[in-house]
Amino acid sequence: MKLLTKKPISVLIAQANEEGDHTLRRGLGWPSLTLLGIGGIIGAGIFVLTGQQAAVNAGPAIILSFVLAGVICAFAALCYAELASMIPVSGSAYTYTYATMGEFFAWLIAWDLILEYGIAAATVSAGWSGYFSRLMNSFGIQMPQLWTNAPYDFTGSELIQTGAILNLPAVFIILLMAGFLVAGIGHSKVANNVIVSLKVVIVLAVIGFGVWYVNPDNLTPFIPDRVPASGGEPGKYGLLGIPAAAAVIFFAYIGFEGVSTAAQEAKNPQRNMPIGILLSLAICTVLYIAVAAVLIGLAPYQTLNNPAPVATALAAVPGLKWLTLWINIGVTVGLGSTILSLLYGQSRILYAMSRDGLLPPAFSQVNPKTRTPIWGTVATAGLAALVGGLFPIKILGELVSMGTLLAFVLICLSVLYLRHKHPELPRSFRVPAIWFVAPVGALGCAYLIASLPVATWPRLFIWMGIGLVVYFGYAYHHSRFHERKLAGAE
């Protein structure tokens, strides 16, 4: 059946070994891969979602939400690491699904990843705009609201106009990060490494200085009583608030997946890819839990439902007000690296899809000088800039989390399939206790999906419906693998 045509493993291995001016350049070692992952992970999760979800869903138990999300994400990361060591080719979950479950499922997950990366970049850009405006205000520069707010918002299911013209800073930061990517992986690698280093220093400063001002009273009760549905969100507080918050903050963990999209630009990918994936996730999980504990300890969690909860918590403590300016600077710079990582991952997925014939050839054209996919980067940045400039940050965060969780479910199942169907393939990294880790990872992600608001599902169905139209209108008729499956390759 053509819809279930699989991309032969032998073709994937051959693509991993391609050389030439029209292929991607292998220039990333494990330190750069780790920083790429950290750059994508540390962002809106620490600087925005921690405080908001504590106030909205979990209370001080947001700490447990990060532990829950981190554990489930770790199971998925182990599966990613094995697949990346086996198939060091651009495309991430799309490529892995193509080899295991077939083209149709690969298309669905790729369309899902377009939502995950492109719209996530737009979401983060809207958050960056808010921090940038506050930073300018601290220097006495008043940013005009007509050009720093989104012109559209949602009230329930109704699209309304806010009176603004365009969120210009959101557009600017996306185009700036896209410029680094277009200039070449070497330039963007240096920029990302510098930005990530600064961001980690700022995070460590919050933990190091803030821990001395933690008020234990702010952590009590650790799990607040559940609020009735009529008085708040259905999952607000109580034990159910913990997974409800974990499902939303899962959005903050998608950055490690960006490492897997860099497989074809990694030096010695069989060794360096697992290191980059697992190390970046481990570092960021520890930082997330530590920041959550300090943040909730500095200020009552009810006060943190705003666009800058970290700055709010620091400002509530007289001895830490001096740190607020530096936090605003660090967040403004740091969210830029998150956007860079997201744009990078999306452009490489478009590159892989185009190489397989599922998208027009322009998306797989590589600049012979910089060895970067120019049009894929431009298209991704254009979409993200448009959405980030027009819509506020709150609209698509939950939908991006759902997209991420769906991708992780398929990755966990893909590892099981390959262990059963292709046990002979070389694996420089193997998931320990695979028959426990992979099923628990898939079930854990499914559980978090069920914890998301019900209103998220119709939005996902609309997006996937558009994807089906594109698939049957173009991709199905241009696939390179419908008629040339290799004997014995499945």
**Pick from 349, 345, 278: which is nearest to 30 by CA?**
278
- When pLDDT is averaged across residues 399-416 and rounded to a whole number, the result is 83
pLDDT of residue 488: 43
Residue 238 identity: G
3-state secondary structure string across 74-133:
HHHHHHHHHHHHHCCCCCCHHHHHHHHCCHHHHHHHHHHHHHHHHHHHHHHHHHHHHHHH
Question: Higher confidence at residue 345 or residue 78?
Answer: 78
- Statement: residue 198 has pLDDT above 70: yes
Question: What's the pLDDT score for residue 436?
Answer: 93
Tell me the pLDDT band of 489, cut-offs 50, 70 and 90. Answer: very low
Exposure b/e, 377-393, CB count within 10 A at least 16 = b: bbbbbebbbbbbbbbbb
pLDDT confidence band for 28 (50 / 70 / 90)? low
- DSSP 8-state secondary structure symbol assigned to residue 5: P
pLDDT: which is higher, 113 or 475? 475
Has residue 179 been placed in a domain?
yes
Q: What is the average pLDDT across 298-320?
A: 84
Say whether pLDDT at 195 is over 90.
no
Spatial contact of 196 and 35, defined as CB atoms under 8 Å apart: yes
Q: Read off the pLDDT of each residue in 442-458 and give the average, rounded to a whole number.
A: 84
CA–CA gap between residue 131 and residue 107 (Å, rounded): 36
- Determine, yes or no, domain membership for 87: yes
Read off the CATH number of the domain in which 314 is found: 1.20.1740.10
**How large is the average pLDDT for residues 348-373?**
80
In a domain, 123, yes or no: yes
Backbone angles phi, psi at 73, to 5 degrees: -65, -35
pLDDT-derived band at 398, boundaries 50, 70, 90: low
**pLDDT tens digits, one per residue of 163-185:** 788 889 989 999 988 887 777 65
Domain membership flag for residue 353: yes
Tens digits of per-residue pLDDT, 31-80? 777 777 776 677 766 777 788 888 888 889 999 998 998 899 889 888 88
Q: What pLDDT does 209 receive?
A: 92
Q: Is residue 18 in some structural domain?
A: no
Asked if residue 39 belongs to a domain, the reply is: yes
Q: Over 60: is that where the pLDDT of 156 sits?
A: no
The mean pLDDT value for 224-239 works out to 65
- The structural domain count of the chain equals 1
pLDDT digits (tens, 9 = 90+) for 465-488: 998 999 999 988 888 876 554 434
Domain coverage including residue 228: 27-478
CA distance 255 to 444: 19
Neighbour count for residue 146 (Cβ, 10 Å): 13
What values do phi and psi take at 212, rounded to 5? -80, -10
What does the pLDDT average to over 435-451?
Answer: 90
Q: Is the model's pLDDT at 231 over the cut of 50?
A: no
User: Is the predicted pLDDT of residue 258 greater than 80, yes or no?
Assistant: no
Residue 429: predicted pLDDT: 80
192-216 mean pLDDT: 84
Please tell me the distance from the alpha carbon of residue 56 to that of residue 54, in angstroms, as a whole number: 6
**Residue 189: pLDDT band with limits 50, 70, 90:** low
Which pLDDT score is estimated for 158?
67
Task: Name which residue leads in pLDDT, 442 or 322.
Answer: 442
| pLDDT the model gives residue 88 | 66
Crossing angle between the packed helical segments 321-355 and 185-210, to the nearest 10 degrees = 150
Average pLDDT of the chain is 79
Is 481 or 231 the better-scoring residue by pLDDT? 481
Query: Does some domain include residue 284?
Result: yes
Average pLDDT score over residue span 200-216: 89
- Indicate whether 211 belongs to any domain: yes
pLDDT at 363 (0 to 100): 84
* Cβ proximity of 8 and 104 under 8 Å: no
More confident residue, 189 or 115: 115
pLDDT at 233: 47
Range 4-15 average pLDDT: 68
Q: What is the mean pLDDT of residues 85-106?
A: 76
Q: What is the pLDDT of residue 230?
A: 41
* Tens of pLDDT, residues 368-395: 776 677 887 888 888 888 888 887 665 5
For the segment 306-323, the average pLDDT, to the nearest whole number, is 82
What's the pLDDT at 365?
78
